[in-house]
Amino acid sequence: DYEMGRSTVAAFKAAAEGKGAKTVGEVFAPLDNKDYSPFFGQIRAARPAVIYTSVAGNDTVRLFNQMAEFGLNRNVQVVGASGTVTSQNLPAIGKAADGFVTGVGYSLSLDTPENKKFVTEFEAANKAQPDLYGADSYGVLFFYKAAVEKAKSVDTDKLREAMRGIQWATPQGMKTMRAGDHQAMQEMYAARVNNGKFEIVGKVSAANAIGSDVCTKF
């Protein structure tokens, strides 16, 4: 029950209802909630086919394990925001996360040469698996490299102009810098948790995943 939770729920609700889905209820738990069982009766009574959640961190661990204990996710598809179940909290959630579906901008399981190279080198250097932030940080170096090569300069104005419409390879796949609002455009992925690991089950084009350019001052 805070701004991020409410705004992501509102966005998901608008998108789902735009596709013909019907919302049968909403509940908002406080941050760092320890016991979700008081909310389960209301959820079960609504008899949803899908449960959307945008909790994060330790709240996710508690929510998913308690849902599994109550059997709330037994015959319901649970989906959520990209930061809900992550490679960091998945080991603590365990089997309770199986079947969960989310949209992601990066996954270890992406089958691209750039990602395979990145994962191998990241694990060797850090003794840990990379996440979205690691992939983004790695990819932005290649973005800058491509801009310098296109501009043939490190002058700020020349680089800014060179970045318009530029394309570069990243662990997530090819990205394009949209000229108007400087939004990095990339495919997004639907990922499902299966036996404690994320697997890619679908793709969404950049045009559909990312909103249109509404900036007019550039």
For 84-132, the pLDDT digits (tens) are 998 888 999 999 999 999 999 998 888 889 999 999 999 999 998 898 8
CA-angle at 194, arms to 100 and 22, nearest 5°:
25
What is the residue extent of each domain of the chain?
3-103+188-202, 113-184
CATH number corresponding to 3-103+188-202: 3.40.50.2300
- For 116-175, how does the pLDDT look when each residue is reduced to its tens digit (9 = 90+)? 999 999 999 999 889 888 999 999 999 999 999 999 999 999 999 999 999 999 999 999
- Count Cα atoms within 13 angstroms, Cβ side, for 148: 7
Structure pTM? 0.83
Q: Do residues 63 and 57 lie in contact, with contact meaning Cβ atoms separated by under 8 Å? A: no
